[in-house]
Chains A and B, each alone.
Chain A
Amino acid sequence: MGRKINYDEKPKKGLGRKAKKQPPPEIPKKLQEQRRGVKKRRADDRKAKAKKIKLKPINDSESEIDENSIASELNMGLDSDDNSIEDKADDLFEGNSLSESEGPDGNGADRNENGKHKSSDSDDDDDDENEQDDDASDNDSDDLNDLSLEEASKRLVKKKAKIERQAEEEMQTNILDSERMHLPTAKELRRDQPDLIASRQRVKDILLVLGNFKARCEPGRKRKEYIRLLSKDLCFLYDYNEFLVQKLFDLFGTNVVEFLEANEQSRPLTIRTNTLKTRRRDLAKSLIERGINLEPIGAWSKVGLVITDTQSIPIGATPEYLAGHYMLQGASSFLPVMALAPQESEQILDMCAAPGGKTTYIGQLMKNTGCLVANDVNRDRARAVIGNIHRMGITNCVVSSVDGRKLPGMIKGFDRVLLDAPCSGTGVISKHSEVKSSKDGKDVQRCGHIQRELLLAAIDSCTASSVTGGYIVYSTCSVLVEENECVVQYALKRRNVKIVPTGLPFGNEGFTHFREYHFHPSMKLAMRYYPHLHNMDGFFVCKLKKFSNTIPKPPKEDLPETAEGDNEGEGEEEEMDTENKEAPKKKKKKSNKGMKKST
């Protein structure tokens, strides 16, 4: 005989596989009382709605109510998905409670049991009910007793939020109505001590008033008075002179405080990889090994890195810096060179090159082909350019120290010209805080004058007959319109150039009109950058294309003395003026005229 094998089924030992499921939640007694009318199904919802509608008009005949209630009960019975006996019993109980009232009922004990059972049933029913409960927004308080725990809590939260919102609005209207800002008179101001906190509050208040002047101003006080007091307070708070604050207020309006705040903090430290000697990836790796935390500057640049944490390591003295692997450069300084887009084997001029960040960027983009001329009027600063180009390994560069306005007389025929003009520096206040108090109208005018002359010289150094180029990029680290759009407008009138898109991936558009100035419509292709919006120094970049080498006759206002100019050029000058205001198409006509004249 063989070994005896037992074919009986072995009794199951242990808890079993499904025992691992989470046990049903135990609801504390406190909350159980609220679960009196636990809604389970759509049918219940329908029934409850019907009951509520019927309950409202008390004058209606009771017979209808009874009929409906019975009918809904029957419907419920028919429609019930769940065939369990317990549920049916619950529904009947529910129906009873609804027909009576919403108060506590005698079936408290049963209710509790039902509540427990209900909680153990599937949660799908609850989800359905949730959606429907959101619709029934009326009679919130009435529903609370009928709903499940979750809906009840959600309703409570919503109610609370609504009450809070209403209270807030009430408060606001109260503030507006009762607490209008009182603009202190000159006497009151003289009497009070200069107070930082009071000034700050006053600035906020005035900005609020200016936001909706008609509604919020004090009767009898003019807008000018508010603005004057605002500029006084801002001067006091941030150490500016009145001229500059007024200019900034004209530019930014009620956002001026953000700009001023941004100028109090410094911009993040950024470096530019020298692609002639290394790659950004390798540079990042070696700097991280030294303990410097950095990350790529953004999607718009493949060579920029922003230093988040230096760990007290001097960034300007690491062996990588000394070997010329990177250059310390502000993020905004990348932009004019990106707009210039220098190509290999071109002749490029950088008119205001010191200290050499943009020059070396141009050199690395050219890959040491062609010829790059870097000029700066200040001899000592030009020597910084020499140091940087040698360190970075730029070999195709000539460094000169000549007044930029005389450059076209010495050398011409460049494919591209970059003019990073000297300016008042209102965009770099975070780096040079002396700008706040030292610049006034005369400085801005002087800067503007030099910028105009330099831009004309830059245009003259460039040649329109260049195969690949003919571009001039004008950039400043200033946000004032007098140094930016006005200068470009001046050049548009006096030379055969037109504004072309910079190709930069972000930035604000240039102004086509600003207070009393009106500019050419293509001025919106220029780019403006602000510290409080872009987290880089304030900048202006404009790309011009030269389409003819001839110089047109200057417009009428420039020839007050010469008699010949009055007679000869009058007709053409008028035409030129009108053409300037119209589309660039007509400029080509002007150039043809110019060409004809020369031949």
Chain B
Amino acid sequence: MRPLTDEESKQFFEKLSKYIGDNVDVLIDRPDGKYCFRLSKDRVYYVRESVMKKAAHFGRPCLLSFGTCFGKFTHSSKFRLYITALDYLAPYAKYKVWLRPGAEQQFLYGNHVLKSGLGRITENTQQYQGVVVYSMKELPLGFGVAAKATADCRRADPMTIVVFHQADIGEFVRNEEELT
């Protein structure tokens, strides 16, 4: 377990800011304790300091997880955000997309979102902007990347992709080995 190096931090926060913009400070300064990011086996964990101290008792082979895993650094040193970070990103998301009930299941299976499944989208969403995907009942379903800007979405025909799928909560069941 070690803190993130500068390069790693830069990459990580860049990725985060794609979804939550400048609200990154909110994650670090929290009222219920001092939180920090730690790296263990190429995975980034977000954890309260007291919990981190307990985790430090365990050696590398024994320690599997602590706090919340946000994502993983790949072999080519790129950062990939996992669905497990959703709880922290959803409240601070700047750009959101709401799905129609019919399209929910499709997204949860890992498919991209088509125009026909799009319920609402925040204004001024640019193309390739990171978005958080919700259901109509305000239940966060995952992340994506906007394939088209808001204006283009309105004009698009029903079969075009409007949101690229990045992560969804269906992965807890489909893809558990990858996450853990």
Q: Measured between C-beta atoms, what is the minimum distance from A175 to chain B in Å?
A: 59
Q: Is the CB of A396 within 8 A of B65?
A: no
Q: Is the CB of B64 within 8 A of A401?
A: yes
Contact partner, B135, options A317, A319, A371, A387, Cβ 8 Å: A319
Known A319-B141, A395-B68: A402·B180 in contact at CB below 8 Å: no
How would you classify the secondary structure of chain B's contact residues: helix, strand, loop or mixed?
mixed
- CB-CB under 8 A from A399, the residues of chain B are 63-66
Is A70's beta carbon under 8 Å from chain B?
no
Q: Measured between C-beta atoms, what is the minimum distance from A389 to chain B in Å?
A: 8
Q: Is the CB of A401 within 8 A of B180?
A: no
What residue in chain B is nearest A317 (Cβ atoms)? B173
Q: Is the CB of A386 within 8 A of B50?
A: no
- CB-CB under 8 A from A369, the residues of chain B are 32
Complex CA distance for A402 and B55, rounded to whole angstroms: 13
Contact partner, B169, options A323, A371, A382, Cβ 8 Å: A323
Is B87's beta carbon under 8 Å from chain A?
yes
Is A74's beta carbon under 8 Å from chain B?
no
Known A319-B141, A396-B48, A399-B64: A386·B179 in contact at CB below 8 Å: yes
Contact partner, B58, options A393, A397, A410, Cβ 8 Å: A410
Contact partner, B65, options A316, A319, A323, A398, Cβ 8 Å: A398
Task: List residues of B (126-180) whose CB comes within 8 Å of A's CBs.
Answer: 135, 137, 139-141, 169-170, 172-173, 176-177, 179-180
Q: Measured between C-beta atoms, what is the minimum distance from B170 to chain A in Å?
A: 6
Q: Is the CB of B67 within 8 A of A382?
A: no
Q: Is the CB of B176 within 8 A of A322?
A: no
Contact partner, A402, options B58, B139, B173, Cβ 8 Å: B58
Q: Is the CB of B51 within 8 A of A322?
A: no
Q: Is the CB of B176 within 8 A of A382?
A: no
- CB-CB under 8 A from B125, the residues of chain A are none
B51, B137, B140, B169 interface centre (most CB from chain A within 10 Å) = B51
Task: List residues of A (86-104) whose CB comes within 8 Å of B's CBs.
Answer: none
Complex CA distance for A474 and B104, rounded to whole angstroms: 43
What residue in chain A is nearest B66 (Cβ atoms)? A398
- CB-CB under 8 A from B65, the residues of chain A are 386, 389, 397-399
What residue in chain B is nearest A345 (Cβ atoms)? B50
Q: Is the CB of A384 within 8 A of B176?
A: yes
Contact partner, A400, options B51, B58, B140, B170, Cβ 8 Å: B58
Is B75's beta carbon under 8 Å from chain A?
no
Interface string of B30-68 (1 = CB under 8 A from A): 001000000000000001101100110110001111111
Contact partner, B51, options A320, A371, A390, A393, Cβ 8 Å: A371
Known: A371-B54, A390-B172, A410-B62. 19 other contacts (CB 8 A): A319-B139, A322-B169, A322-B172, A323-B140, A347-B54, A383-B176, A383-B180, A384-B180, A386-B64, A390-B69, A391-B172, A396-B51, A398-B66, A398-B67, A399-B64, A402-B58, A410-B57, A411-B54, A411-B57
